[in-house]
Structure 1
Amino acid sequence: ESFFGHFKTECYDFKTYQTFEDLVADIDAYIYFYNNQRFQEKHNGLAPLEMRNKAVA
C-alpha cells in the first residue's frame, strides 16, 4: 500500500505510458529505487535494504 502510494505520487502521475511494457519497466525501476536508494524517515534516513542489512548484522 505504501509502495504504490509513493509510486503514484513520485512517478506515475507525471507520465503517460504508451504500452503496458513501459509501465512494467517503470515499476521495476521504481522497485529498485525504492529498496536501494530512497531514504525513508521511518528508517532513520536509511533505504529499506540498508535497514534490513543493519538489522541482520
Structure 2
Amino acid sequence: MTRSTGAKGCSPDNAAAEGFFGRPRQEFFHRRSFAGVSMDGFIGMLNDYMVWYRDKRIKTEYGTGIMDRRRKLGLVA
C-alpha cells in the first residue's frame, strides 16, 4: 500500500487517511505473525482482510455490515 494524504496542513484529509490506515494496523498487522509467509501469501491475506473490512465488518453505527446496510437501502443487488 502506498499512503496518500492531503497537502501539509490539511488536517481533515490527513485525519481520514490516518483513520483508515490505523484500523488495518490494529486489526490485521498486530494480531498476526507473518513469519514464513511469502509475499503472495501476505497479499492474499491482506486482500481477504480488505474484503472482510468492506463487506462483513459490523459498523456499530448501523448494527450490521456495510453491505447489508446498502442492500437494505436498495443501493446494491
Q: TM-score, normalised by structure 2?
A: 0.55
| Counterpart-to-counterpart distance in 2, 1:14 and 1:34 | 15
More strand by share: 2
Q: How many residues align?
A: 56
| Counterpart-to-counterpart distance in 1, 2:27 and 2:67 | 19
Structure showing greater radius of gyration is 2
More helix by share: 1
Please give the root-mean-square deviation of Cα atoms over the aligned residues, in Å: 2.1
Going from structure 1 to structure 2, the CA distance change for 1:39 and 1:12 (only over 3 Å counts) comes to same
Percent identity over the alignment is 18
Q: TM-score, normalised by structure 1?
A: 0.67
Higher relative contact order (CA closer than 8 Å, sequence separation 6+):
1
Q: Does 1:13 align with 2:30?
A: yes
Give structure 1 stretches of 5+ with no counterpart: none
Give structure 2 stretches of 5+ with no counterpart: 1-16
Shift of 1:20: 1.8
